[in-house]
């Protein structure tokens, strides 16, 4: 299969559905139709939440596999395209469970008990024992599903905003505890949620048994609509009605053409059209809308290996993206594979009496190389402060990338990764610093991170000239160039380069 067009410049979105069987018009208009449109603007991840199905149906999982297959077919039939979106099954990406476990260590029990749907579902699903941690903790699993992809937006209806707020709280608490910006707080992308009435006039829902399925035949759609309420109006055919009070007319608004919408609306008010005819026209409009969806679904049913391939490929891509987040989370929580034995020097902090700079290999964090700029920057600065700065050098964070030493020297840390030709580019805010820390991530076999500690006396003149030539809000361009002899030259605002090779990991200026 071709790779999805996951452009890094596009904001990322994430959403999913529980596999409760074949989808209906309410699912389609409430979520799927909008997801299809989002593919044009966003980097999309859409999943089938089979673990979430177990939170209420753990006692009888016999239908889950078939339901997953049905939802996958409906996703593809509705217009989600694996070339433009990552489509996968939740349980096929085990990092979801790992992040859920780790987030459970920092999440308050009271937060979960206050989720509105917790008590509501217990009251509505009286026939099931929901006194389980799985049910209590499903909003946290939902938060893990979201945060592991570090999305900008989560498309939801108004009824799901509380879940997004919990996700934001969890991210905020995690970042605060571990002094890192690893889990960005996602924003709710409120989606249009049209009223989709069921055949009994209430909201269309499987729990009410009032749905019109995406796979329903034209005959079945017609039979269902024959029983549909007209809102208690028009006791006689000659009685005029108000279409705005009729759930059948709500379906016309969603699926009928402008001509039929006008014909049925005016005909209802003037009693020129019977309710039976109105229902027939609505059934025809719905069936016409469903026809291409059902054709695509039928094609998928006859190509099960293709659908399986879509989900397997999607799971691999989702897992690769999820692992980038997990590398940071594990590192922050101290559960990485690298254990700090005394003999291990690559990750140990050290004192000023170290004669030579120490090598810092990031090969175990190589997944961060292609992470978003802000994520990668935060990771490198956190790594520098916690692993590279000498243990007897106390740094106090004063602002974004700005630190103060125990002698009140202002140290600004900036990051760059190696480009072709051994070039590292930095953009420094137009402000004064006493110490400039340049973190250079080399992409070699060891993926080394080098730190150059540059005191003010070396860069002050060029820095001052650059500041004078720029507006206050413009950033100063700084280049670090690595030559074939492994020498490093610093150039500020295009000036002649200065050899700073000897300043690599020399922390004397921070004293």
Write out the residue limits of the CATH 1.10.240.10 domain(s) in the chain.
206-296
Mean pLDDT score, 207-227 = 95
Mean pLDDT score, 5-21 = 81
CA distance 230 to 239: 12
pTM summary value: 0.67
Mean pLDDT lowest among 188-192, 247-251, 281-285: 188-192
Look at residue 437 in the predicted model and tell me its pLDDT. 93
Which residues are CB-neighbours of 54 under 8 A, at least 6 positions away?
61, 64, 134
**What is the phi-psi region of residue 401: left when phi exceeds 0, alpha when psi lies from -120 to 50, beta otherwise?**
left
CATH 1.10.260 fits 339-510, yes or no: no
Using pLDDT thresholds of 50, 70 and 90, give the confidence band for residue 2. very low
- Give the pair of three-digit tokens for residue 334: 């101290």
| Average pLDDT value over all residues in the chain | 88
Mean pLDDT score, 159-182 = 91
Mean pLDDT lowest among 36-45, 93-102, 500-509: 500-509
Cβ–Cβ under 8 Å, residues 257 and 223: no
CATH 3.30.70.20 fits 12-192+305-323, yes or no: no
Using pLDDT thresholds of 50, 70 and 90, give the confidence band for residue 264. very high
Using pLDDT thresholds of 50, 70 and 90, give the confidence band for residue 371. confident
Using pLDDT thresholds of 50, 70 and 90, give the confidence band for residue 355. very low
Using CA atoms, how far residue 132 sits from 91, 122, 137, 138, 139, in Å, is 19, 11, 9, 10, 13
Q: Which helix (H) or strand (E) holds 452?
A: strand 449-455
Residue 340 has pLDDT above 70, yes or no: no
What share of the chain has pLDDT > 70, as a percent? 92
Using pLDDT thresholds of 50, 70 and 90, give the confidence band for residue 31. very high
Which residues are CB-neighbours of 41 under 8 A, at least 6 positions away?
10, 11
Look at residue 38 in the predicted model and tell me its pLDDT. 96
Which residues are CB-neighbours of 399 under 8 A, at least 6 positions away?
none
Write out the residue limits of the CATH 3.40.50.620 domain(s) in the chain.
12-192+305-323
Write out the residue limits of the CATH 3.40.210 domain(s) in the chain.
339-510
Topology classification of domain 206-296 = Tyrosyl-Transfer RNA Synthetase (1.10.240)
Residue 120 has pLDDT above 90, yes or no: no
Q: Which helix (H) or strand (E) holds 481?
A: strand 475-482
Look at residue 62 in the predicted model and tell me its pLDDT. 94
SS3 per-residue string spanning 116-174: HHHHHHHHHCCCCCCCCHHHHCHHHHHHHHHHCCCCCEEEECHHHHHHHHHHHHHHHHH
Q: What is the pLDDT of residues 73-117, one digit of tens each?
A: 999 999 999 999 999 999 999 999 999 999 999 999 999 988 877
CA distance 57 to 156: 23
Which has more pLDDT, 372 or 357? 372
**Residue 454, strand partner residues:** 436
Look at residue 343 in the predicted model and tell me its pLDDT. 33
């Amino acid at each position: 299969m071709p790779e999805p067009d996951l452009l890094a410049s596009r904001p990322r979105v994430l959403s999913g559905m529980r596999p409760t069987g074949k989808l209906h018009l309410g699912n389609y208009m409430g979520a799927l139709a909008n997801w299809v449109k989002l593919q044009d603007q966003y980097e999309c991840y859409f999943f089938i939440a089979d673990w979430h199905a177990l939170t209420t149906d753990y006692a009888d999982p016999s239908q889950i596999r078939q339901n997953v297959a049905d939802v996958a077919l409906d996703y593809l039939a509705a217009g989600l395209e694996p070339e433009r979106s990552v489509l996968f099954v939740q349980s096929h990406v085990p990092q979801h469970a790992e992040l859920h476990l780790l987030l459970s260590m920092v999440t308050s029990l009271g937060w979960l008990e206050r989720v509105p749907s917790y008590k509501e579902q217990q009251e509505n699903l009286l026939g099931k024992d929901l006194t389980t941690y799985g049910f209590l903790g499903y909003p946290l699993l939902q938060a893990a599903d979201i945060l592991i992809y570090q999305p900008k937006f989560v498309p939801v209806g108004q009824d799901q905003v509380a879940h997004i707020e919990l996700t934001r709280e969890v991210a905020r608490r995690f970042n605060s505890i571990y002094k890192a910006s690893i889990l960005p707080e996602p924003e709710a992308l409120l989606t249009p949620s049209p009223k989709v009435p069921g055949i009994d006039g209430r909201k269309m829902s499987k729990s009410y048994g009032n749905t019109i399925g995406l796979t329903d035949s034209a005959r079945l759609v017609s039979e269902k609509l024959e029983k549909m309420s007209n809102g208690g109006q028009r006791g006689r055919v000659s009685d005029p009605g108000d279409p705005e009070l009729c759930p059948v007319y709500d379906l016309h608004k969603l699926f009928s053409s402008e001509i039929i919408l006008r014909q049925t609306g005016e005909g209802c008010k003037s009693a020129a059209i019977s309710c039976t005819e109105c229902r027939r026209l609505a059934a025809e409009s719905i069936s016409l809308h469903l026809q291409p969806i059902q054709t695509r679904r039928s094609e998928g049913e006859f190509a099960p290996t293709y659908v399986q391939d879509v989900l397997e490929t999607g799971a691999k891509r989702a897992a690769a993206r999820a692992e980038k987040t997990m590398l940071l989370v594990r590192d922050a929580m101290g559960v990485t594979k690298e254990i700090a034995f005394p003999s291990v020097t690559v990750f140990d902090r050290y004192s000023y009496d170290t004669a030579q700079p120490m090598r810092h290999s990031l090969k175990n964090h190589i997944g961060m190389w292609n992470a978003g700029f802000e994520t990668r920057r935060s990771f490198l600065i956190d790594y520098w402060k916690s692993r590279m700065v000498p243990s007897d050098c106390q740094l106090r964070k004063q602002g974004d990338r700005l630190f103060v030493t125990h002698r009140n020297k202002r140290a600004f840390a900036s990051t760059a990764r190696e480009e072709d030709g051994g070039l590292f580019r930095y953009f420094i805010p137009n402000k004064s610093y006493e110490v400039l820390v340049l973190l250079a991530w080399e992409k070699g076999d060891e993926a080394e991170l080098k730190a150059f500690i540059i005191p003010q006396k070396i860069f002050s003149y060029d820095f001052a000239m650059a500041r004078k030539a720029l507006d206050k809000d413009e950033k100063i361009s700084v280049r670090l160039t690595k030559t074939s002899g492994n020498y490093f030259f610093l150039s500020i605002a295009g000036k002649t380069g200065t050899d700073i090779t000897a300043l690599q990991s020399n922390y004397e200026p921070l004293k």
